[in-house]
Structures are given as C-alpha cells and as structure tokens.
Amino acid sequence: MRAGWIVTLISALGLPLLASYLVFGDPGFVLVFPPEWGRVTHVPFSLPLSVVAAALVSGTPLLWNFLKRRDRIYRHSLILKRRHFPKWGYVGYCLLIIFWIIAWNRFDALAVVQAYTFTPLWLGFIIVVNAHVHRLSNSAPLYKSPGKFACLFLLSALFWWGFEYLNRFTENWIYVGVEEVSAFHYYFHGSICFSTVLPAVYSVFRWLNCFNGLHRFFYLGPRAPLLNSQPFGLLCLTIGLSGMFGVGANPQLAYAFLWMGPLLIYGGLLVVIGGASGVSSWARGDWRWMAFWGLAGLICGFFWELWNLGSLLKWEYRVSFFNGWHVFEMPLLGYLGYLPFGMFCGLVTQWIFKKRVSIEFSPTD
C-alpha cells in the first residue's frame, strides 16, 4: 500500500520534528554530524517498574498456554529436502571468525581495521544463515533471489537512517569513539554498516520458517478477532501518531515509540483498509507471521549487542526507567524493542520481496 507508506513516512519523520519545534524551539540538532549528545535528561533506573515489567513479560508464556487454540490440529508439514552445507557458507564462517577476533582484540598491526569490523562480521552472519536455509529448504534469498536481496541492502541503509534520525530526539543510544570523525566519514561508514540490517533480519526469518515445530506452535495460538476490526486499526493509528508526536515533545517518556510508532501507524492503516493479511491471520489464531519476524528481530538484536560489547567503535544505551540489568550494553527489558522492530522489518521487506516474505506451509517458493 503505497499511500500507507507515504503516510507512515511523513508521520514518523515529521511529527517528532514538529513537536520538538513547538516545545523546545530550534530543532537543528538533527542535522549535526557526528551527533552531539546530552540534550535529553533520562529518568533514572526504577527497580519497582522494572520488576513489574519483568513479571508481566514472564507471565506471557502462561497466558499463551491458557488461551491457545485446542479446537484444531496442525495438519501440515514442511517439505524439506536437506542438502549438503554449501561451500560458500564456509566463506561466511571464515568472515565471522576472523572479524570477531579482530573486533574484540587490539592488535597493533590491525589497528586501522578494528574500527571497520561491523560490516564484514555481519556479512559473514548473513552468508552463514543463508547457507543453513539453503541446506534445509533451498529457499535462501541470497541464493534464490540475489537481485532482490541486493536491493534489500540499499533499502536497509535508508531504513536504518530513519531510526538514527528518531534517535536524535530520544538519545536512546549513543556512539562511542566517533567524536573526532568528519561528517562525511560518519555518514558514509554508517550507511555501509546500516545496509546489513534488513538482509540479516530477513535471512533469520527465512531460517525460522524452516522448522515444523515453530510452525505448529505459533499456528495454534489464541484467536483475537478484534485485532482485525476497524476500531482496533483506528486505535493503533491514533496511538502511533500520538506516540510519534511524543517522541519529539517528551522523549523521556515516549522513547519506546521510536520502535512501536511506525509499526502502529502502518499496521493500523492496513487494518482500517482491510489489507493486513498478517493481522488477519493473527486474529484467526495463526501467529506465525508476527512471531517469526519478531523473533528474527530479537535474534539479530542478541548478536548486535553481543558483538558490540568488545568492539572498538560501539554504542551505549540511555533509556528512562529501565536502564538496568544489562545483558551486554543493552538493558534486559530493552530487548523487547526488537520484537516490534522485527515486525516492521517484515513489512518493509515485503515491499521488495512481495509474497516471498509470507508464511507458507512449505518454505520453498
């Protein structure tokens, strides 16, 4: 839905800017490269709120088991034709091992390379995941649709720059070690790094799609018919638009909408016009599309944070209320943001691959 993307883009980029201008005045800080941090004062860590949030998250599996469907049986099986692990997959493993070692060590002879390990490390990850998908199902996008997969790298750079723009308002993460680089170097190197985001998430999505157990588990989820109703779509749209305005007006409280806002806006529009096939399936109890994309974002998020831990150029987090219980540099509850992020990656990727990102009983296309 092209009109939906236009509305989402204008809303997600324009509302925070408008709100910041109305509340704080000149929003010229969004154009400073490298960014200047310190404009936002975050609320300190709150143990009671974190305990409550953790308890709610921990109770989700119990709620799922109580509400899941027991009136039908999953009668489909993936048709998997296992192959030998492809030789090009070992190239990915070599990239992973070599650049992980370089990233986490300070070899004098490789000092120039240590600041640029992010992209080859993630290229290795993408190749490895695609190699395993190819072995399991012969549906690896890197192998089956290399042209579209290459387009995904270009789209990914633009895609993540949008989140970098929103982060100027919230300052949820800051980059360490880039203070002295030029604006051109910051933008150019950043664009190359950001180009790996969507290909990585999509590759993991295709990998998750290869497992019968996951299909069976999420296919039998609880039904929620109201999720496919126009009132629900309007509610999502209203919350999303309000949240994006809040990102600019009150970033200390509304920072989570950096991840949820675009998804709520576009998803709400799809529900209102009746084009949200993923939500329609969810309403019927088939949670696979939502779950697979959310888990793909979460799995990639784990490795982003893992490899960030020992890197020379890295990022650190500044969030209100929940900036504690760190796993690597990320607060534990902050990993929840990767779930809506993964779903939004799915919506964006669908624009390139069309039906290839849908959930199917057979992963082959």
pLDDT category at 234 given cuts 50, 70, 90 is: very high
Per the model's pLDDT, the better-predicted residue between 228 and 301 turns out to be 301
* Per-residue pLDDT reduced to its tens digit, 151-179: 999 999 999 999 999 999 999 999 988 87
pLDDT of residue 65: 81
Contact status, residue 209 vs residue 292, Cβ threshold 8 Å:
yes
Q: What is the mean pLDDT of the chain?
A: 89
3-class DSSP assignment, residue 171: coil
Strand partners, 175: 315
Please say if the pLDDT value at position 293 is more than 90.
yes
The set of residues, in sequence order, having a beta carbon less than 8 Å from that of 319 and lying 6+ positions away, is 42, 172, 255, 331, 334
CA distance 125 to 181: 27
Per-residue pLDDT at 254: 96
Per-residue pLDDT at 346 exceeds 70: yes
Exposed, middle or buried, 237 (CB in 10 Å: 0-12/13-18/19+)? Answer: buried
SS3 state of residue 6: helix
Partners of 321 in beta bridges = 45
Say whether pLDDT at 240 is over 60.
yes
Q: Above 70 in pLDDT, residue 123?
A: yes
Token pair, residue 257, equals 């909408």
Residue 363 has a pLDDT of 37
Q: What percent of the chain has pLDDT over 90?
A: 63
Spacing of C-alpha 336 from chain mean position: 10
CB 281 within 8 A of CB 359: yes
- The full set of domain ranges for the chain reads 2-26+81-357
Q: How confident is the model at residue 56 (pLDDT cuts 50, 70, 90)?
A: very high
Give residue for tokens 């607060």.
331
Q: At what angle do helices 2-24 and 146-170 cross, to 10 degrees?
A: 20
- Angle at alpha carbon of residue 182, lines to 180 and 187, rounded to 5°: 120
pLDDT band of 26, cuts 50, 70, 90: confident
pLDDT classification of 365: cutoffs 50, 70, 90: very low
Residue 215 class from Cβ within 10 Å (0-12 exposed, 13-18 middle, 19+ buried)? buried
Q: At 44, is the secondary structure helix, strand, or coil?
A: coil
For residue 173, the cross-strand partners are: 317
- Residue linked to tokens 């999303």: 240
∠ CA 353-212-129, nearest 5°, is 50
Task: Tokens 């999509």: give the residue.
Answer: 202
Q: Are 279 and 267 in contact (CB under 8 A)?
A: yes
pLDDT above 60 (res 276): no
75: helix, strand or coil: coil
What pLDDT score does 81 carry? 64
* Max Cα-Cα span within the chain: 64
Tokens representing 17 are 């800017």
Burial of 77 (0-12, 13-18, 19+ CB in 10 A): exposed
Q: Is 32 helix (H, G, I), strand (E, B) or coil?
A: coil
Q: pLDDT per residue over 2-19, tens digit each?
A: 788 899 999 999 999 999
45 DSSP assignment: B
Per-residue pLDDT tens for 315-334? Answer: 999 999 999 999 999 999 99
Q: Where are the beta strands (DSSP E) in the chain?
A: 173-176, 314-317, 326-327, 330-331
pLDDT tens digits along 175-192: 988 878 888 999 999 999
Distance CA 160, CA 155 (A): 9
Q: Are 242 and 225 in contact (CB under 8 A)?
A: no
Read off the pLDDT band of 80 (50, 70, 90): low
Provide the pLDDT for residue 320.
95
Residue 356: predicted pLDDT: 46
Name the pLDDT band for 62 (thresholds 50, 70, 90): confident
Q: What DSSP element (H or E) covers 302?
A: helix 288-309
Closest to 104 in 3D by CA, of 93, 114, 91: 114
